[in-house]
Amino acid sequence: MTTPRLFTPFRLGPLTLRNRTVRSAAFEGMCPDGWPSESLLAYHEAVARGGVGLTTVAYAAVTPGGRTFAHQMWMREELVPRLRELAERVHREGAAVSIQLGDAGNMADREVTGQRPVAPSPVFNLFGLARPRAMTAHDIEELCVAFARATRLVREAGFDAVEIQGGHGYLLSQFLSPYTNRRDDAWGGALANRARLLCEVVRRVREEAGDRLAVVVKLNTRDGFAGGLELDEAVEVARLLEREGPDALVLSGGFVSKCPMYLMRGEIPLKLMVKTQRRLAHKLGLALFGKLVVKAYPFSEAFFLEDGLAFRRAVKTPLALVGGLRTRARMEEVLAAGFDLCALARPLIIEPDFVRKLERGEREGSACEPCNRCMATMYFGEMTCTERERLCARD
């Protein structure tokens, strides 16, 4: 029997978290026209009240050009007072707060941003139905500056941490992946070159974060499709990153434009996905070819654990595991295996107070099945669990 650790404090860089649970970044869709709504503030406040150690506000773009959705936040000065309000409400409930910073790269939506998406190389992207423009050295420098500026804003807003989105097939992960990065300059080719941008972004963010903010990086254990980043290279990326001193890595996997369900597993809510697409081309594409192009992956508890262990053996950086963590028993096993933090998305979508219920022994596991309808709802507006009513009726 291992000593229970889930509800013990953890030191994450300059922060002390009250326990080892993290609300993983999961796009809330609660920023109409890019402005954080009351729903966003209330949701994170509820997760904090619900006992989590660290909650992560999802998917803020570092520039307006890096957005996938019109109801997505992008980092700018005028947001600071609103984000400060969010941070204060979370702090009042005893949790720490982070924000995920990223850029969609080839998945940015031209109808939202008004500009052609950029990427490491001009490889056609089925998700965005677009052929992106290859980034120039100037674009790359601007991106690094944008990450640093966004970090300064997060710091000024009184947040505790930033999470750099280095996985899931977004721009930094597109640089890591041999499938999307076909460059033959200093930013492509050998792994050290493909990892250069992520390392540089971590360095710039680290400089801006100083000793005030923890710096966390979300990283793929593998992309999940043939021709993408594989486990051995991903572990090497973690080794390279270690030199930049991130306070933790969050280990996930998958590439939204190639295998979106790899990162979530479980059912594919295709009908609802067709319904919630805003663009006709996406609706038609999904309705006609969805079953062919969106591959299913069966759900199992802690589905990245085995791949994650290769990172545990390779680096000393604290590690958070995400993906299918559902029961207290399994989370304790994950911690006993050497991970430092357990990150949860869907269990805190269906029940924002799941962590507290675990702590009090009112639940042994999450009620999330997972039907993944929450994911389908995020395309249209506020992301929500359509199964929550079933749960309330059961309780």
Ligand X SMILES: Cc1cc2nc3c(=O)[nH]c(=O)nc-3n(C[C@H](O)[C@H](O)[C@H](O)COP(=O)(O)O)c2cc1C
Catalytic status, residue 297 = no
CB 274 to ligand X: min, Å: 17
User: Which residue reads 């929450």 in tokens?
Assistant: 374
Q: Is 180 in the site for ligand X (CB under 6 A)?
A: no
Site for ligand X in 96-135 (CB under 6 A): 100
Cα 222 to Cα 73, 252, 306, 331: the distances in Å are 27, 8, 12, 22
- 209 is a site residue for ligand X (CB under 6 A): no
User: Restricting to residues 320-349, which ones interact with ligand X according to CB under 6 A?
Assistant: 322-325, 344-347
Among 43, 59, 170, 379, the active-site one is 170
At residue 6, the 3 state secondary structure works out as: coil
Cα(174)–Cα(22) distance, integer angstroms = 25
Among the candidate windows 107-115, 229-237, 318-326, 386-394, which touches ligand X by CB under 6 A? Answer: 318-326
Strands 10-12 and 15-17: antiparallel
Would you call the peptide bond into 370 cis, given omega within 30 degrees of 0 as the criterion?
Answer: yes
**Chain centroid to CA 145: how far?**
21
59, 147, 255, 311: which one binds ligand X (CB under 6 A): 59
153 versus 383: smaller Cβ distance to ligand X: 383
* Site for ligand X contains 383 (CB under 6 A): yes
- Residue 259 in the binding site for ligand X (CB under 6 A): no
Could you write out the DSSP letters of every residue in 203-267?
A: HHHHHHHTTTSEEEEEEES--SSTTS--HHHHHHHHHHHHTT--SEEEEE--BTTTBGGGGT-B-
Side chain identity at residue 183, one-letter code: R
Q: Which positions from 262 through 291 interact with ligand X, judged by CB under 6 A?
A: 263-264
Residue with tokens 């053996």: 313
Near ligand X by CB under 6 A: residue from 154, 241, 378, 385 = 378
Q: How far is the CB of 184 from ligand X (least distance, A)?
A: 29
The residue among 118 and 272 lying less far from ligand X, judged by its C-beta, is 272
Q: How many positions of this chain bind ligand X (CB under 6 A)?
A: 25
| Site for ligand X contains 58 (CB under 6 A) | yes
Q: Considering only CA atoms, which of 229, 113, 109, 114 is closest in space to residue 169?
A: 229
375 part of the interface to ligand X, by CB under 6 A: yes
Q: Which of 19, 21, 24, 384 binds ligand X (CB under 6 A)?
A: 24
- Residue number, 58 or 188, with CB nearest to ligand X: 58
Position 350 contacts ligand X (CB under 6 A):
no
Q: Is 241 exposed, middle or buried (0-12, 13-18, 19+ CB in 10 A)?
A: buried
To the nearest whole angstrom, how small is the minimum distance from the Cβ of residue 375 to ligand X? 4
Q: For residues 26 and 358, which CB has a smaller minimum distance to ligand X in the complex?
A: 26
Q: Give the residue with the Cβ less far from ligand X, 58 or 171.
A: 58
Specify the residue, 12 or 188, whose C-beta has the smaller distance to ligand X: 12
Whichever of 121 and 366 has its CB closer to ligand X, that residue is: 366
Q: Return d(Cα 53, Cα 95) in angstroms, integer.
A: 5
In angstroms, the CA 280 to CA 127 distance is: 13
H or E element that contains 269: none
Minimum distance from residue 57 beta carbon to ligand X (Å): 10
Among 252, 257, 277, 317, binds ligand X (CB under 6 A): 252
Q: Could you tell me the two tokens for 379? A: 């395309």
The CA R_g of the chain, rounded to the nearest whole Å, is 19
> Whole-number minimum distance, CB 215 to ligand X, in Å?
15
Question: For residue 255, what are the β-bridge partners?
Answer: 259
CA-based angle 241:226:317, to the nearest 5?
A: 20
Distance CA 390, CA 384 (A): 13
26 in contact with ligand X (CB under 6 A): yes
Of 30 and 119, CB closest to ligand X: 30
Among 218, 282, 328, 357, binds ligand X (CB under 6 A): 218
User: Any idea which residue has 């001193």 for tokens?
Assistant: 245
User: In sequence order, what are the residues at sequence separation of 6 or more whose Cβ sits closer than 8 angstroms to the Cβ of residue 190?
Assistant: none
- Per CB under 6 A, 222 contacts ligand X: no
- Rounded to the nearest whole angstrom, what is the least distance from the CB of residue 314 to ligand X in the complex? 21
Sites of contact with ligand X (CB under 6 A): 24-27, 58-59, 100, 165, 168, 218, 252, 263-264, 322-325, 344-347, 374-375, 378, 383
Q: Catalytic residue numbers?
A: 170
